[in-house]
A = this chain, B = another copy of it.
Amino acid sequence: MTRIQKKNTTTILEAALDVFSIYGFRGSTVDQIAQAAGMSKPNLLYYFPTKDAIYTALLNGLLENWLNPLYDMDANGDPRTEILSYVHRKLDMAQSFPRESRLFANEIIQGAPRILDLLTGELKTLVDDKATIVRLWAEQGKIARIDPYHLFFSIWALTQHYADFDTQVKAVIGDTAHDPFPQAREHLDHMFTSMLKP
């Protein structure tokens, strides 16, 4: 792959992330993406054969990074530290990669037609694995007896909310307000610290 190919491919995927993360797959148009990428529609379709191919390439490219923080949760670490670190990493990702978060949110709200296999496969396996660890920690009295699955749902919901519902968060705290993330971090720290106490 030449330099120019690599450059254009990444430019397209970057533009596609902008558009798809807002309007979802069906609500987005190739024209929008082409314009955001600063190129003509046929030129864009020279690099990706179809709209579907752009979306799929984007999704697959992002999935790996998306699951990494959970993979890194360590059964041999300190339970509270491990869980709080996971919360922090997820919150950092919501702050640094809000478009990616919204892309997945759109995809899942619409029934996850393109990643359902991943959800019931790799993700479920991963969560089952980590749930076993959390359950063990609870049985050893290191943390409170919590449903591990709903613990993970809580972490996802709370952290991704600041990316996905960003518009609402900003509307409610006011335009003049400071960046909500520092306070969100404190809030989540308090929340998980208190709920994990045995």
Contact = CB atoms under 8 A, between A and B. Distances in A.
Given A102-B109, A184-B150, A171 B27 contact: no
B168 A119 contact: yes
A168 B111 CA distance: 8
A119 B170 CA distance: 9
Copies in the complex: 2
Given A190-B144, A194-B194, A154 B165 contact: no
Main secondary structure of the interface of A (DSSP, over half): helix
B154 A22 contact: no
Interface residues of A, number: 56
A156 interface: yes
Contacts of A157: 157-158, 160-161, 165
Interface of A: 22-28, 102, 105-106, 108-112, 116, 119-120, 123-124, 127, 144, 146-147, 149-154, 156-158, 160-162, 164-165, 167-169, 171-175, 180, 183-184, 186-187, 190-191, 194-195, 197
